Amino acid sequence: MRRILVVLVTVLLVAGMAAAAEVKVTAPTVDFGSDTPYDEIDTFVNNVLKTLAQKVESDLNERIGAFEQPAFVEGMANAGIFASHVGVMRSRPEYGLLQVGAGIAIGFQSPSANPFDVEGIGQAMGAGGDVFAGVGIQAGGQVGLNASFLKEGLFLGLRFGRMDLTLLAEGMGDALPEGLSGSLSVIGLLANYQLVKPIDLMVVRWRGVMVGSGLIYQGLEVKYQPDVGPVSAEQTVAEDIDGGGKDETGTVTLTVVPEIEVGVKTGTVTIPLEVSTGMRVLVLNVSGGLGADLAFGSSNLIFNANADIEASGSITHGETGANLSIDSSSVTPGSATLDAGTDGGPSFVNPKVFASIGLLLGPVSLEIPFTYYINKGSGFNAGITLGLTF
For the segment 173-182, what is each residue's pLDDT rounded down to a tens digit? 554 555 667 7
How high is the mean pLDDT of the chain?
82
- pLDDT exceeds 90 at position 124: no
What SS3 class is residue 11? helix
Give the ranges where the chain is alpha helix by DSSP (H).
2-18, 36-64, 70-83, 118-128, 165-171
- pLDDT exceeds 50 at position 184: yes
Q: Closest Cα to residue 163, out of 222, 213, 217? A: 222
Q: What is the pLDDT of residue 305?
A: 72
Q: What is the pLDDT of residue 212?
A: 95
User: Rounded distance, CA 200 to CA 183, Å?
Assistant: 44
Q: What is the pLDDT of residue 121?
A: 61
* 224 conformational bin, left if phi > 0, alpha if psi -120 to 50, beta if neither: beta
Q: Which residues pair with 310 in a beta bridge?
A: 255
Per the structure, the complete domain to which residue 269 belongs is given by 2-389
Q: What mean pLDDT is predicted for residues 112-139?
A: 69
Task: State the Cα torsion 14-16-19-22 to the nearest 10°.
Answer: -150
Q: What mean pLDDT is predicted for residues 33-56?
A: 86
Task: Tell me the pLDDT band of 351, cut-offs 50, 70 and 90.
Answer: very high
Q: What is the pLDDT of residue 63?
A: 67
Task: Please name the amino acid found at residue 162.
Answer: R
Q: Which residues pair with 106 in a beta bridge?
A: 137, 382
What SS3 class is residue 175? helix
- pLDDT tens per residue across span 283-342: 999 999 999 999 888 877 777 777 788 899 999 998 888 899 998 888 888 887 766 656
Q: Specify which of 27-41, 64-78, 155-169, 350-364 reaches the highest per-range mean pLDDT.
A: 350-364
Q: Specify which of 112-116, 123-127, 382-386 reaches the highest per-range mean pLDDT.
A: 382-386
Q: What is the pLDDT of residue 341?
A: 59
Q: What mean pLDDT is predicted for residues 188-198?
A: 94
300 Cβ neighbours under 8 A, 6+ residues apart: 73, 264, 265, 266, 341, 342, 343, 344
Q: What is the pLDDT of residue 19?
A: 45
User: Are the C-beta atoms of residues 161 and 86 closer than 8 Å to each other?
Assistant: yes
Q: Which of 15-24, 184-193, 196-205, 225-234 has the lowest mean pLDDT?
A: 15-24
Phi, psi dihedral angles at 113 (to 5 degrees): -75, -10
- Confidence (pTM): 0.71
User: Rounded distance, CA 322 to CA 197, Å?
Assistant: 97
- pLDDT tens per residue across span 71-119: 776 777 788 888 888 888 888 888 889 999 999 998 888 887 777 776 6
User: Rounded distance, CA 361 to CA 195, Å?
Assistant: 26
- pLDDT tens per residue across span 6-31: 555 444 444 444 444 567 888 899 99
Q: Closest Cα to residue 31, out of 318, 360, 315, 374? A: 315
User: Are the C-beta atoms of residues 377 and 350 closer than 8 Å to each other?
Assistant: no
Q: Which residue has the higher pLDDT, 78 or 246?
A: 246
Percent of the chain scored above 70 by pLDDT? Answer: 81
E strand segments, the chain: 21-26, 29-30, 98-110, 134-146, 154-164, 180-196, 199-201, 204-224, 231-239, 248-281, 284-316, 323-325, 331-332, 335-340, 342-344, 349-361, 364-374, 378-389
Task: State the Cα torsion 226-230-233-234 to the nearest 10°.
Answer: -170
Q: Which residue has the higher pLDDT, 217 or 6?
A: 217
User: Are the C-beta atoms of residues 366 and 348 closer than 8 Å to each other?
Assistant: no
Q: Which residues pair with 323 in a beta bridge?
A: 316
- pLDDT exceeds 70 at position 123: no
- pLDDT exceeds 70 at position 148: yes
- pLDDT tens per residue across span 155-175: 999 999 988 767 656 655 554
Task: Tell me the pLDDT band of 242, cut-offs 50, 70 and 90.
Answer: confident
Look at the chain and report how many structural domains it folds into. Answer: 1
- pLDDT exceeds 90 at position 64: no
